[in-house]
Amino acid sequence: MIQFLIHEKADTVGVATVVIKAGEKVHGLFMDTQEPVEVTVSQDIPLGHKIAMQDHETDGAVIKYGADIGRVSEPIKKGQHVHIHNLKTRRW
């Protein structure tokens, strides 16, 4: 069962298609290549929220849809929840 999707191979986050609980090893799919991918999540991920597919350093970029969608405000580890608590717009 697919539990998250990644829009493009270059993206650094995936999007949960179901509610995911911390500690689960989940199965995803790259939409552009149809390649499967797995990750173990370390935090609960609500439906529609982002999952880090790699470590991100503070002030680094999060890539989704092949584009920079914001600035990392605190370090994010692979498998963590990515949302407004650790991702900010570059406008401010």
- Domain residue spans in the chain? 4-88
With pLDDT > 90 as the criterion, what percentage of the chain qualifies?
97
Question: pLDDT band at residue 44, thresholds of 50, 70 and 90?
Answer: very high
Residue 33 has pLDDT above 80, yes or no: yes
Token duo for residue 30: 């790259």
- Say what the pLDDT of residue 30 is: 98
The string of DSSP codes covering the chain is: ---EEESSTT-SEEEESS-B-TT-EEEEEETTT--EEEEE-SS-B-TT-EEESS-B-TT-EEEETTEEEEEESS-B-TT-EESTTTEE-S--
CATH architecture of the region 4-88: Roll (2.30)
Give the pLDDT score at 71: 97
Residue 90, pLDDT score = 84
Residue 92: pLDDT above 80? no
